[in-house]
């Protein structure tokens, strides 16, 4: 017994020591992390973000240097807070708040203390940086906008928030990321890849060389430049025309699906969202719930399209064989589609065939066509589904898949939709007759309207609209070069296009002809409502216009929507014709009076009605 005490003790304690070592070194891996935090400092090298050009190679978005003050809270030592605050021109309260915020993120990882210093502020701080342990300067590049338009297309750059950091480990606190527009869609292309250097440091936080001779270091990859399909001159012109109005313009090149202009009004100068004033300006824009400058109406606003939709009613009727070019209907100031059911028409009664129906926008004609289409089938359900299928083949009723924020789907009803509304059945063509003239249950965004016109211009096919033309060193997404063919045969487009051409010759847009360009278009007027104090109130109609030009070999398809602009040829029509002239002729506008009227015209009084609190009348 006495002999084995010491050897027993030796073996027992050795087993304990080895067990403890096994726990520390093998089972518990928290020490590896702690050791890395201790001794390894990660230094990022941020590449410059790619430039953005317009379709003609004009530089739209470049970069400017900016300097962030970063802080590592646990390394702050002997700080002369008073001097520090006075150099940066912040109060002590702000200082404490920022430090507290940084600590909440992490005491040992860097976070942004003060973002985006300009060169002068940077120079003043740089002189003293040595004195401020725990603070350092991180150079980044900020956007430098060469134009004051297109904010909705570009999007903006912002610091990543916690949710993004959680989701995507690439981003670290203080990193920048593109939001909205192409900055978001092409974030990975534009940003490039930041370089990482692992530096080893000693307990005084002094750099003592690279970690493992740079074995894990990576070099930064430059962001790629991108070229947009936007014609910046057209974009500028569109934004100017929409000044003091609300609404959107979407212009597409039919044969490629390239978006030439995407205007939303009101908009803002993209430069507002750069630099230290960014968050203040953003908040102001965000909080403007009346004009909603951050709301991209071209993609997000869903309206009943009104008369432009009649084009599809006609095409479906032709395809289904319920009418031909020569089929005639009598309009007697409207369309009596059932007992006591009457859809009024303002075309000025008479016998209507396809051509006249289109250029006079005769409600009675299209009501008849729609009714025949649905009633061709023995059950309205089959009729509606056939119709819906044709209409959806124009890219309606669903997300279009363009390379911008996804916007809205719009709405094209199917039989399911009506079965839900009328669970006991009993709905028929006459129940849903408003769809024939683009009212009823149909909703479309301006982008969808423009795409519809592009499809008609192409006589039956379209490419998914997109803003990307070229990415340096990359291919653009194949889906933008894939043809979508509609269910309507090519031969049926000619008579409809002729009708659209006659809208300008002797129809609702006769006053908007442009010398030397054959335009095909269609006016529209969309009823709309809002809620004031919980009551549904009708407002002045939206002015809608869709068109493409020239008739032969179309170069541009366009949809214009002016909120509360009343009838189609009052605001939307002229603006569309000016845009077409600007794009097709590429020189100065000939109709100076019309141009001035549009540029200077304001609909502010219409918008003020809603907020005035006074009773008001509409459609004057």
- Single out the segment in contact with another protein by CB under 8 A; choices: 131-139, 197-205, 412-420, 545-553: 197-205
b/e string for 80-118 if b means 16 or more Cβ within 10 A?
eeeebbeebeeeeeebeebbeebeebeeebbbbbbbbbe
List the one residue out of 311, 561, 359, 560 whose CA is nearest residue 455.
311
> Binding of another protein at residue 478 (CB under 8 A)?
no
d(CA 389, CA 231): 34
Count of residues in the chain: 620
Question: b vs e for 456-475, b when ≥16 Cβ sit within 10 Å of the residue's Cβ?
Answer: bbbbbbbbbbbbbbbbeeee
Hey, CA dihedral for 462, 464, 470, 474, is it positive or negative? negative
Residue with tokens 């409207």: 334
Describe the chain by its helix, strand, coil percentages, rounded to 5: 40, 25, 35
d(CA 169, CA 167): 6
Smaller CB separation from another protein, 39 or 43:
39
How many residues touch another protein under the rule CB under 8 A: the total is 37
Q: Are 342 and 334 in contact (CB under 8 A)?
A: yes
Cβ atoms 171, 165 nearer than 8 A: yes
107 binds another protein, rule: CB under 8 A: no
* Beta strands at 226-228 and 52-53: parallel, antiparallel or unpaired: parallel
**Interaction mask 15-44, another protein, x per CB under 8 A:** -xxx-xxx-xxx-x-xxx-xxx-xxx----
Q: Which CB atom, from 39 or from 292, has the smaller least distance to another protein? A: 39
- For 539, the 3-state DSSP assignment is strand
If binding is defined by CB under 8 A, does position 14 make contact with another protein? yes
134 part of the interface to another protein, by CB under 8 A: no
Nearest to 568, CA basis, from 243, 305, 358, 237: 305
Minimum distance, C-beta of residue 73 to another protein, in the bound complex (Å): 13
The values of phi and psi at residue 406, to 5°, are: -65, -15
CB of 103 to another protein, least distance (A): 15
Comparison of 162 and 202: residue with beta carbon closer to another protein: 202
| 605 scored as a contact of another protein (CB under 8 A) | no
* Binding flag, residue 9, another protein (CB under 8 A): yes
Residue closer to another protein (CB basis): 5 or 120: 5
Nearer to another protein, 24 or 137 (CB): 24
Our finding on whether 240 is near another protein (CB under 8 A) is no
At 543, is the secondary structure helix, strand, or coil?
strand
**Sign (positive/negative) of CA torsion 347, 444, 395, 571?**
positive
Nearer to another protein, 200 or 392 (CB): 200
Q: Which is nearer to another protein, 13 or 619 (CB)?
A: 13
CB of 104 to another protein, least distance (A): 20
Binding mask 202-221 for another protein (x = CB under 8 A): xx----xx-xx---------
Which of 194, 197, 201, 409 contacts another protein by CB under 8 A? 201
Report the residue from 98, 99, 142, 200 that binds another protein according to the rule CB under 8 A: 200
Shortest separation between residue 37's beta carbon and another protein, angstroms: 9
Q: In the bound complex, what is the minimum distance in angstroms from residue 44's beta carbon to another protein?
A: 20
Tokens describing residue 294: 């951050």
Among the listed ranges 7-15, 46-54, 482-490, 553-561, the one in contact with another protein (CB under 8 A) is 7-15
Interaction of residue 5 with another protein, rule CB under 8 A? yes
Q: Is 2 near another protein (CB under 8 A)?
A: yes
Q: Does 10 bind another protein (CB under 8 A)?
A: yes
378 binds another protein (CB under 8 A): no
Q: Is residue 13 close enough to count as binding another protein by CB under 8 A?
A: yes
**Footprint of another protein (CB under 8 A):** 2-3, 5-7, 9-11, 13-14, 16-18, 20-22, 24-26, 28, 30-32, 34-36, 38-40, 200-203, 208-209, 211-212
């Amino acid at each position: 017994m006495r002999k084995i005490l010491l050897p027993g003790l030796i073996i027992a304690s050795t087993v304990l020591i080895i067990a403890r070592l096994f726990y520390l070194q093998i089972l518990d891996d928290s020490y590896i992390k702690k050791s890395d935090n201790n001794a390894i400092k990660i230094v990022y090298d941020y590449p410059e973000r790619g430039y953005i050009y317009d379709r003609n190679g004009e530089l739209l978005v470049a970069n400017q240097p900016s300097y962030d003050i970063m802080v590592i809270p646990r390394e702050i030592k002997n700080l002369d807070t008073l001097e520090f605050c006075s150099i940066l021109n912040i109060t002590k309260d702000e200082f404490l708040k920022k430090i507290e915020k940084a600590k909440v993120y992490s005491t040992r990882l860097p976070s942004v203390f003060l973002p985006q210093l300009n060169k002068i502020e940077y120079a003043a701080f740089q002189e003293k940086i040595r004195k401020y342990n725990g603070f350092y300067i991180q150079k980044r590049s900020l956007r430098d906008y060469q134009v004051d338009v297109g904010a909705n297309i570009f999007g903006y750059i912002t610091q990543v928030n916690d949710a993004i950091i959680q989701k995507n480990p690439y981003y670290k606190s203080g990193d920048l990321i593109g939001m909205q527009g192409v900055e978001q869609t092409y974030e990975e292309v534009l940003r490039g890849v930041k370089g990482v250097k692992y530096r080893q440091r000693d307990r005084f936080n002094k750099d003592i060389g690279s970690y493992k001779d740079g074995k894990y270091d990576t070099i930064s990859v430059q962001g790629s430049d991108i070229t947009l399909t936007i014609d910046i001159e057209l974009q500028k012109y569109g934004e100017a025309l929409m000044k003091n109005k609300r609404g959107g313009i979407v212009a597409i090149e039919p044969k490629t699906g390239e978006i030439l202009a995407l205007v939303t009004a009101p908009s803002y100068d993209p430069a507002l969202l750069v630099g230290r004033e960014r968050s203040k300006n953003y908040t102001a824009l965000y909080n403007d719930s009346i004009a909603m400058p951050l709301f991209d109406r071209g993609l997000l606003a869903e309206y009943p399209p009104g008369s432009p939709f009649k084009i599809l009613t006609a095409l479906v009727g032709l395809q289904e064989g319920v009418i031909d070019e020569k089929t005639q209907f009598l309009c007697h100031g409207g369309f009596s589609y059932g007992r006591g059911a009457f859809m009024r028409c303002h075309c000025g009664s008479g016998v209507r065939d396809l051509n006249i129906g289109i250029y006079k926008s005769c409600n009675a004609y299209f009501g008849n066509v729609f009714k025949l289409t649905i009633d061709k089938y023995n059950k309205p359900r089959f009729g509606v589904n056939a119709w819906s299928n044709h209409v959806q083949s124009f890219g309606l009723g669903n997300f279009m898949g363009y390379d911008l924020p996804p916007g809205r789907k719009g709405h094209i009803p199917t039989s399911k939709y009506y079965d839900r509304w009328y669970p006991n059945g009993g709905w028929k063509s006459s129940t849903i007759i408003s769809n024939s003239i683009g009212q009823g249950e149909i909703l479309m965004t301006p982008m969808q309207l423009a795409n519809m016109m592009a499809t008609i211009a192409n006589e039956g096919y379209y490419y998914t609209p997109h803003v990307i033309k070229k990415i340096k060193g990359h291919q653009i997404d194949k889906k933008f070069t894939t043809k979508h063919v509609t269910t309507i045969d090519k031969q049926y487009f000619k008579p409809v296009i002729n009708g659209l051409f006659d809208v300008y010759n002797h129809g609702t847009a006769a006053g908007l002809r442009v010398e030397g360009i054959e335009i095909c278009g269609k006016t529209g007027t969309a009823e709309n409502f809002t809620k004031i104090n919980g009551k549904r109130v009708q407002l002045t109609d939206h002015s809608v216009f869709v068109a493409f030009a020239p008739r032969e070999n179309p170069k541009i398809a366009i949809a214009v929507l002016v909120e509360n602009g009343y009838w189609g040829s009052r605001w939307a029509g002229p603006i569309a014709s000016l845009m077409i002239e600007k794009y097709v002729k590429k020189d100065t506008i000939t109709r100076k009076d019309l141009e001035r009227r549009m540029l200077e015209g304001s609909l502010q009084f219409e918008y003020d009605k809603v907020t005035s609190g006074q009773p008001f009348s509409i459609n004057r």
